[in-house]
Structure 1
């Protein structure tokens, strides 16, 4: 009769979890993943300060509504990022995102240089869509990294955020094409 080793499921799960974490920690991809995670965490937090300025400067009710909705989504994105940090057992800290800082600076310059009305609204949409495209690229990359690192719960969180970013971009396009771009084109210089 063959003797079987008596291992409890708890001890096996515990050692598998620590082995998995050790493997993740030693991965160069995991290091890049964490770095990019800190970067987008900074970016999303910065957007919670930048989007209200866009809302304040927008004159279109539709644009205002789209930006207000996305501000609430951005706050949810931060919560999801904090969940990702928790899932990979890394402290939620941010690293300054130079790209987002530049995009926010550009948005501010557009708002300051454009005349109030459709022209400024078109500029706000332009700046906001640049932000959305940066976020779409970042979340798409992070989702793929998480997939490669075999982090299915993280993949699901990033997929949800990625879809929301794509929807926000489409909504901004709809608002622009419905009236704002046409009105801005008709405004005299």
Structure 2
């Protein structure tokens, strides 16, 4: 396929297809013929431009839609469903309380919830950076954390999850 056709197809490619296209273009940029290298650089530039456009779109898109897209693109595991349902059923709870609701000890809920959110970061807005933790707060993509360290699902996230069959949806 020509570079022009590959570039034209980029907006319609899913994450995995874009990753394969990027890997192939990087390989050709490093070791292809002069023409292949030039085409590969054009494809890489187009992939970067699309990634920037997608990022900008995610930052301003409704969270409910992004959550629905994230959990459609990467369906929830049973553990994902368990941690989501625990939070939906027990708003304003600590990580320890949510862990207990899942039948676990300590802060296991927070580890699972944060990891689940991080796995879907390509479909969601940027997480907040927390200097005190020297890292990103991925749980904050779907949940609010109050000053008493109690988690509550964001209403827009609950709406997006309801669209994929998790929880009850927004309050009427």
**TM-score (normalizing by structure 2):** 0.32
Larger-Rg structure: 1
When you count strand as a share of all residues, which structure comes out higher?
A: 2
**TM-score (normalizing by structure 1):** 0.30
